[in-house]
Structure 1
Amino acid sequence: MNIFVTGACGYKGTVLVPKLLEKGHTVRAFDIQWFGNFLRPHPNLEVVKGDIRNSDEVNLDGIDVIIHLSSVANDPCSDLDPKLTWEISCLATMQLADRAKRKGIKHFIYASSGSVYGVSDEPQVTEDLELFPISEYNKTKMCGERILLSYENDMTVQIVRPATVCGFSPRMRLDVAVNLLTMQALTKGKITVLGGDQTRPNIHMDDITDLYIFLMENPQHTGVYNAGFENISILDIAKMVAEHVGAEIEVKPSNDPRSYRVNSDRLLATGFRPKKTVDDAIKEIVGLYRQGALKEEDRFHNLKWMMKTVLPAQAAAE
């Protein structure tokens, strides 16, 4: 199949695209490349550097499936420039869905976020609960979901609400919980935990990317799916890291109240099964760091990199 992947040079896209190519698909990888391009050349890969907000740059000719990953990722980055966030994560999604319908594309997979639930006291957060997004990032993801669901009579729509992704990617992120705490332990010998009692769902990079492929290959499973298989407190993640690295743990107050336990029974009912764990992610990161294959870099921290390079460039362009 011919697959159009937005955000293809991002944290998840850089792992997903090679998997699609290994399965014999042709991929048009679309990305603004704020954080660079870590995709290796391949005969069936076309990398397009473009802005998803500019629909004229989006070529959907010959495309069978869209996997829409692009957004301004995480709460702090989205709050830096709310207008930019809404344009990329919501308006561009609406434009892409409309163009997909006009082109006759019959399959659209959308990467939403498990954080659309906001703060929840429910012991198990299921897809049927009302959404209470509390940040620009959460709100734009909810908006994107509703846009896509309005097209469910025109195409197969599959919406994934991923938990916090952990594990290695060539386009690494060191600002997500498991990866952040592991790198702190490796580079500083000390883990700083903010709060610690907050429970968050997690999913390994290999499992979330395998899930997008599973859904692509199983279009009969439509609608919204939670994707998180380990609900672990931030402090317990730190303790897991400390077991592998031997670092000291320091707990400080947090102003982030989000705490929830995602239930992914609906996804498991499709037959999909995760293969890796948070512990696997920690061990992989530790191993790569000690081999010299992974280093601490500014561009692996979205907020730091956006403030340093992206926002100044946006301001200059305006």
Structure 2
Amino acid sequence: MKLFVTGACGYKGTVLVPKLLEKGHEVVAFDIQWFGNNLRPHPMLTVVKGDVCNPEEYDLTGIDAIIHLSSIANDPAGDLNPKLTWEVSCLATMRLADMAVRQGVKRFIYASSGSVYGVKDEEQVTEDLELVPISEYNKTKMCAERILLSYKEEMVVQIVRPATVCGFSPTMRNDVSVNMLTMLALKNGKITVFGGEQTRPNVHMDDITDLYIFLLDHPEHLGIFNAGFENITIREIAEMVAKHVDAEIVVTPSNDPRSYRVNSDRLLATGFRPKKTVEDAIKELVGLWRQGAWQDSPSFHRMKWMQQEIL
């Protein structure tokens, strides 16, 4: 298939695109490249530097499927410039979907977020619960989902609500919980945990990117799917890190009591199975750090980088 992947140079995209190429797909990688371009050249890959907010910059001629990863990622970054967040994460999604239908694109896979549920007390947060988004990022994801579902009679729409992704990518994020705590242990020999009892759902980078490929291969699985396979506390993550790095855990008070859990039974019922764990991600990151293949870079901290270099 010929695929149009937005956000292709981002944290997930830089891992997903080589997997798509290995499967024999032709890929048009579309990205504004705020965080660089770490995709290696390939005869079946076309990299287009462009802004998803400008429909005139992308060409969907001959495209069979879209994998839409582009967004202003996470709550703090989304709140930096709410207008831009709505334009990128919601309005651009509407324009892309509209153009896709007009150009005859038959498949649309969308990367939403598990945070669209807001704060939930339920132990099992399923896809059927009410969405109560609390940040600009959450709200734009919810609205984008609704927009895409309005096109479900005209193209196959598959929506993924990922948990927090962990693990290595050439376009790394050191500001998500597992990656950040592992880096702090390696750099400082100390892990500072704020609160620690907050539960966070997690998914390994290889599993979330494999899931997009699984959905591409299985258009019969329609609708919305949670994708998070380990609901664990921040303290538990820190303890996992300390098993592999000689580091002290320091717990300090937190004013953020929010906990998030997701249930992914609907996804598991399709036959998809995760292959990796949070602990796998930690071990891989530790090995890469010690080999000098993973480092701390300003662009790996999205909000700070956007404040300094973009906004």
TM-score tier, shorter chain, comes to over 0.9
Matched, 1:138 2:138: yes
| Alignment match, 2:48 | 48
Q: Does 1:223 pair with 2:232? A: no
Q: Is the partner of 2:86 in helix, strand or coil? A: helix
Equivalent position of 1:7 in the other structure: 7
Q: Equivalent residue for 2:272?
A: 272
How many residue pairs match? The answer is: 311
Residue equivalent to 1:316:
none
Match of 1:92 in 2: 92
* SS of 2:185 mapped into structure 1: helix
**Are 2:117 and 1:117 equivalent residues in the alignment?**
yes
CA–CA separation in structure 2 for the residues paired with 1:67 and 1:154 = 16
Q: What is the letter of the counterpart of residue 78 of structure 1?
A: G
Secondary structure at the aligned position of 1:197 is classed as: coil
1:253 deviates by: 2.4
1:191–1:247 contact (8 Å) kept in structure 2:
yes
Contact 1:123–1:260 (Cα < 8 Å) also in 2:
no
Structure 1 stretch 256-265 or stretch 273-282: which is displaced more?
256-265
For 1:253 and 1:161, the matched residues in 2 are separated by 30
SS at match of 1:21: helix
Check if 1:151 corresponds to 2:151: yes
Residue aligning to 1:82: 82
Q: Does 1:17 align with 2:17?
A: yes
Aligned-residue offset at 1:257: 3.3
Instruction: Indicate conservation of the 8 Å contact 1:124/1:260, yes or no.
Output: no
CA contact (8 A) 1:119 1:257 kept: no
Aligned residue type for 1:309: E
State the 1:174 CA deviation. Answer: 0.3
Give the % identical residues: 76
| Cα offset, 1:256, TM superposition | 2.8
TM-score by length of 2: 0.99
Instruction: Name the residue aligned to 1:169.
Output: 169
| Matching residue of 2:287 | 287
Which sections of structure 2, spanning at least 5 residues, go unmatched? none
Deviation larger for 253-262 or 184-193: 253-262
- What corresponds to 2:104 in structure 1? 104
CA contact (8 A) 1:30 1:47 kept: yes
SS of the residue 1:141 aligns to: helix
TM-score (norm 1): 0.97
- Aligned pairs (5 A) from 1:225-240: 225-240=225-240
Tell me, in whole angstroms, the C-alpha distance in 2 between the residues paired with 1:245 and 1:170.
22
Structure 2 CA distance for aligned equivalents of residues 115 and 165 of structure 1: 12
- Secondary structure of 1:216's counterpart equals helix
- Indicate the residue corresponding to 1:250 in structure 2: 250
Q: Distance in 1 between matches of 2:263 and 2:120?
A: 12
Q: Which amino acid aligns with 1:27?
A: V
| Distance in structure 1 (CA, Å) of the matches to 2:37 and 2:252 | 36
Secondary structure of residue in 2 paired with 1:48: strand
- Give the structure 1 partner of residue 259 of structure 2: 259
1:305 and 1:249 map into 2 onto residues whose CA distance is: 27
State the Cα deviation string for residues 207-242 of structure 1 (Å, max 9, x = none): 000000000000000000000000000010001001
Amino acid at match of 1:97: A
C-alpha distance in 2 between matches for 1:253 and 1:44: 51
